[in-house]
Amino acid sequence: MSLYYHEIIFVSIERIFILNFFEMLRNCRKNKKLTQKQMAELLDMTERGYQNYEIGRSEPDCSKLVEIADILDVSVDYLLGRTDNPDSHKHNLSQSSSSNV
């Protein structure tokens, strides 16, 4: 296989990831019954800036992604499509707490 073929696969996978993130973001926000304006206020950003996340025009940086996950009470992995369990962050916290005892 040529290098070009691998680049196409990578770009395609990245595009799928991005689409999943924005879909997950919108769905989680709606499940929490929050408006885009409310999310923007909680994230200390403009409503347009937040809307750009949901339509795929821009992507949050790591710290903003963590803030979003905290507000929506889901794991970053769930938002990124790495798990189907929105509560996986709660499970991981309880495991680490019990191992520290």
Could you report the per-residue pLDDT of 59-69, keeping only the tens digit for each? 999 999 999 99
Amino acid found at 42: L
Instruction: Supply the pLDDT for residue 81.
Output: 83
Rounded CA separation 86/66 (Å): 14
* Structural domain count of the chain: 1
The residue with greater pLDDT, 91 or 98, is 91
Instruction: Supply the pLDDT for residue 97.
Output: 47
**Cβ burial, residue 47 (10 Å; 0-12/13-18/19+):** middle
pLDDT band at 6 (very low <50, low <70, confident <90, very high): very low
Domain range spanning residue 83? 3-99
User: 38 with 47: CB under 8 angstroms?
Assistant: no
User: 59 with 68: CB under 8 angstroms?
Assistant: no
Residue showing tokens 């680490």: 96
The pTM assigned to this predicted structure is 0.70
The residue with greater pLDDT, 43 or 4, is 43
CATH number at residue 42: 1.10.260.40
